[in-house]
Amino acid sequence: MKRAILGILVAVAVVATVLPIAAQQGTKYGTGVALKAVTPIDKLLADPKAYVGKTVRVNGVVKDVCTMAGCWMELVPDQADPKTAKPIRIKVEDGVIVFPQEAKGKKASAEGVFEQVSGEMAKEYAADLKKEGKAETKDAVPTYQVKATGAVIY
């Protein structure tokens, strides 16, 4: 009987130790994130031309996710007001990585090449806004994005 109780206590201790670590690691999408250095979203958006073509890692809170295919998500800085903060778009290859709608409001990290949005991509984003019934405003279509190879949602 003592061995059974001891075995249960050991199992509970292992689960109590492993679960927080698993939760901290989050759910990996694509290749996940490998860079240790994080580039703040505000810094990217303040001087975007300095980062074009560079591989960056950004951390933030998921403000929005593509409702049609989960092919992009928008992150805002952790401490920012999501209603007023300017987001950075995290774009992934269609069908290769799919971000879930449940990610909204969760913390996330993403890694990829920072790029300027091309004319065709901007048109596609504007068409997506129209399909989703969202109003197109000057700031609704991003001019820069992270073309991500991976992300982690916590």
Q: Is residue 37 part of a domain?
A: yes
In the chain, how many domains are there?
A: 1
Residue 129 pLDDT: 65
Tokens standing for 9?
């206590």
| Pick from 90, 55, 84, 60: nearest CA to 72 | 90
Which is it for the CA torsion 27, 28, 34, 38, positive or negative?
negative
- Give the highest mean pLDDT range of 2-11, 45-54, 61-70: 45-54
117 inside domain? yes
* pLDDT at site 24: 57
* Domain presence at residue 107: yes
What's the CA gap between 16 and 91, in Å, rounded?
Answer: 36
Predicted pLDDT at 106: 97
| Residue 76 located in a structural domain | yes
- Read off the pTM: 0.75
> What's the average model confidence in pLDDT over 42-68?
96
144 within domain boundaries: yes
Report the C-alpha gap between 125 and 140 in whole angstroms: 9
- Torsional sign, CA 22, 26, 30, 31: negative
In a domain, 19, yes or no: no
CA distance 90 to 109: 10
CA distance 73 to 88: 8
CATH number of the domain encompassing residue 68: 2.40.50.140
Q: What's the confidence (pLDDT) of residue 7?
A: 43
Identify whether 7 is part of a domain.
no
Is position 15 within any domain? no
pLDDT band of residue 23 (cuts 50, 70, 90) is very low
Which residues have a Cβ under 8 Å from the Cβ of 127 and sit 6 or more positions away?
none
On whether the CB atoms of residues 110 and 72 are closer than 8 A, the answer is no
Query: Which residues form the domain of 33?
Result: 27-153
Q: What is the pLDDT of residue 120?
A: 74
Model confidence pLDDT, tens digit, residues 134-151:
655 555 557 899 999 999
> Beta strand pairing status for 27-30 and 144-153?
antiparallel
